[in-house]
């Protein structure tokens, strides 16, 4: 923004003096997952341009249950008939699993609380989530300069009515939750005073604790200040003998883009519970992304009770029901988050993946914090090729997608050719385009030289008894082969000798006057398992005189013929 605009803003710490010089959270580590509560069906739904209808919300509720959420805020039943009908549909059709507690939000207003308890009839176990705004800004703007005493009285009166109506319920268990909405910009001592007053009315015990939800309704401050606020409240609860009777809950928004960090630091500060939504859907810049935090914990080996092993399917269901998009760079779920275009990244990833495949148990691949397969992603998109890609990336794709394990010294030559094609096209290459580029340049090339046929040479020699027998032609330690060749349209049959067919073909080419090279490397492998598997062979030759080196590749069901084709391909590339 322009410098003149800065006069409208001042640091958050100047508004509220939060002092916690002996804070403990920086020295702690997250060792277990919090209690999770999804608010997709309430907070997330109200943020949609087109809110979900009842049928869509039913499907979304089932999705949340399948993921493993045990607490789900299913709506605001006093807000509208649609919300009320959805709530009752879940109850009347017995769609709430026995191990799932549903939560309903309600403002601290008498008629809304009454309507909420009507919706709760017959619910086996539920959380009534009471809230009212408490911040100075809300007191001034929303409530017309209402006093602190008046705002506190709203919370206290609401808590008393909830307690009274809960005592009258005989067909279900009612749990209590209170949120001082806009806690993030409320004076700490005042917010705590209200929370303590509500807590005393509800009378929690160790066996039946209440939930104090301390929402960062608007993310005003940096994550460390948020953590200080949570630790301060946890200390006050302990001082007042209430800490083991209260679950401290978080509800972070993402106005500064640091909702995940604020949540993780606040867990270190003592929070027991976390509210949020899938992929962070919510008002403004969104709520806390539960997928992000849960998979962050998984990446440190911490069990969460949530199952995101089919994250692609979850993402597609979410997008269909909410009509929202998940960004390509969204952590874990985005289309491109496991994708590398950079050549140096691709090379490091390929090396890491090779080691993981061979002998590693612990996940340790450069640039990849988790194994994509653990969340239902495949390896297809890890490396994608454009003009920025390098030798390792192209080799990785050819290996993973087409079973071609190129010799390392062949990588620069192949990578350079494929990258130049991407540069010429000005875009990313598809997997099939990479394959086509490699095949066109390196595989089974047959001009100007082509191998029409080959066979072992045999001769008839007399054995010890003087009987003629058919034997392999041999010269010293070298065996003979016959090659039917065509060079620039001229056909010939030439014999060659060598310790193998490749050397023998090189000898035959020398006899034809075509050998101006030496073979410097040869590799081969089976592409697939089984007797009918294709084989791949790679031959490197260096031209005598200018020392130019080239590789060729041969593919054939016969590994012997694959090697010969590789030599021919290399020759043709050298003389192209």
Which residues neighbour 88 within 8 Å (Cβ) at sequence distance 6 or greater? 119
Q: For position 428, what pLDDT does the model report?
A: 77
**Could you tell me whether strands 173-181 and 125-133 are parallel, antiparallel, or unpaired per DSSP bridges?**
parallel
Query: For the chain, first and last CA: distance in Å?
Result: 59
Give the 3-state secondary structure of residue 314. Answer: helix
CATH of domain 33-322: 3.20.20.70
Beta bridge partners of 469: 461
pLDDT one-digit tens code per residue, 192-215: 999 999 999 999 999 999 999 999
| pLDDT number for residue 161 | 98
Maximum C-alpha span of the chain? 123
Q: Which two tokens stand for residue 153?
A: 């009285």
SS (H, E, C) 397-453: HHHHHHCCCCCHHHHHHHHHHHHHHHHHHCCCECHHHHHHHHHHHHECCCCCEEEEE
**pLDDT, position 354:** 75
**Whether 403 contacts 527, CB under 8 Å:** yes
Binding residues: 43, 251, 253, 287
Q: State the pLDDT at residue 387.
A: 45
Residue stretches of the annotated binding site for Mg(2+): 43, 251, 253, 287
Q: What is the CATH number of domain 449-574?
A: 3.30.160.270
- Domain ranges for the chain, please list them: 33-322, 343-442, 449-574
Strands, E assignment, 57-201: 71-75, 101-107, 125-133, 173-181
Cα–Cα distance measured from residue 112 to residue 131, given in angstroms and rounded to the nearest whole number: 12
Flag residues of the chain having pLDDT under 70: 340-343, 346, 357-360, 379-392, 459-471, 528-533
Residue 379's pLDDT is: 61
């Amino acid at each position: 923004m322009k410098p003149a605009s800065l006069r409208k803003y001042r640091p958050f710490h100047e508004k509220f003096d939060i002092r916690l010089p002996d804070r403990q959270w920086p020295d702690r580590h997250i060792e277990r997952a919090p209690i999770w509560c999804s608010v997709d069906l309430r907070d997330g739904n109200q943020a949609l341009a087109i809110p979900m209808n009842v049928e869509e919300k039913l499907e979304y509720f089932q999705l949340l249950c399948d993921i493993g959420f045990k607490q789900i805020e299913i709506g605001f039943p006093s807000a509208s008939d649609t919300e009320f009908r959805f709530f009752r549909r879940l109850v009347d059709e017995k769609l709430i699993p026995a191990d799932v507690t549903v939560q309903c939000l309600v403002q601290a207003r008498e008629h809304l609380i009454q309507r909420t308890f009507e919706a709760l009839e017959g619910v086996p176990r539920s959380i009534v989530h009471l809230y009212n705004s408490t911040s100075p800004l809300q007191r001034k703007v929303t409530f017309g300069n209402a006093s602190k005493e008046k705002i506190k009285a709203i919370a206290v009166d609401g808590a008393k009515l909830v307690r009274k109506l809960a005592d009258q319920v005989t067909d279900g268990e009612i749990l209590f939750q209170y949120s001082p909405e806009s806690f993030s910009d409320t004076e700490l001592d005042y917010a705590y005073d209200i929370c303590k007053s509500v807590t005393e009315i509800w009378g929690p015990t160790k066996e039946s604790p209440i939930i104090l939800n301390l929402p960062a309704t608007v993310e005003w401050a940096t994550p460390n200040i948020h953590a200080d606020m949570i630790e301060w409240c946890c200390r006050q609860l302990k001082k007042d003998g209430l800490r083991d009777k209260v679950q401290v809950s978080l509800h972070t928004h993402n106005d500064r883009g640091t909702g995940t960090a604020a949540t993780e630091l606040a867990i270190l500060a003592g929070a027991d519970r976390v509210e949020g939504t899938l992929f962070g859907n919510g008002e403004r810049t969104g709520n806390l992304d539960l997928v992000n935090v849960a998979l962050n914990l998984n990446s440190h080996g911490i069990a969460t009770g949530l199952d995101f092993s089919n994250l692609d399917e979850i993402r597609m269901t979410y997008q269909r029901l909410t009509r929202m998009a998940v960004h390509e760079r969204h952590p874990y779920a985005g289309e491109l988050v496991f994708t590398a275009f950079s050549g140096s990244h691709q090379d490091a990833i390929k090396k890491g993946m090779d080691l993981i495949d061979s002998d590693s148990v612990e996940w340790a691949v450069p640039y990849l914090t988790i194994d994509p397969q653990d969340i239902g992603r495949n390896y297809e998109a890890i490396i994608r090729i454009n003009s920025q890609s390098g030798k390792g990336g192209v080799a990785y794709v050819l290996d993973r997608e087409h079973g071609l394990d190129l010799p390392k010294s062949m990588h620069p030559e192949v990578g350079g050719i494929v990258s130049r094609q991407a540069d010429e096209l000005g875009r990313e290459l598809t997997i099939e385009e990479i394959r086509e580029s490699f095949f066109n340049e390196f595989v089974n090339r047959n001009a100007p030289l082509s191998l029409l046929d080959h066979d072992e040479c045999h001769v008839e020699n007399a054995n010890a008894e003087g009987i003629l027998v058919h034997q392999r032609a041999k010269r010293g330690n070298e065996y003979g082969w016959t090659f039917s060749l065509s060079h620039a349209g001229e056909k010939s049959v030439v014999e060659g000798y060598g310790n193998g067919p490749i050397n023998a073909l090189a000898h035959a080419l020398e006899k034809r006057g075509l050998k101006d090279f030496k073979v410097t490397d040869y590799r081969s492998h089976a592409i697939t398992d089984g007797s009918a598997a294709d084989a791949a062979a790679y031959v490197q030759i260096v031209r005598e005189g200018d020392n130019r080196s080239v590789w060729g590749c041969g593919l054939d069901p016969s590994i012997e013929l694959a090697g010969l084709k590789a030599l021919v391909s290399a020759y043709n590339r050298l003389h192209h």
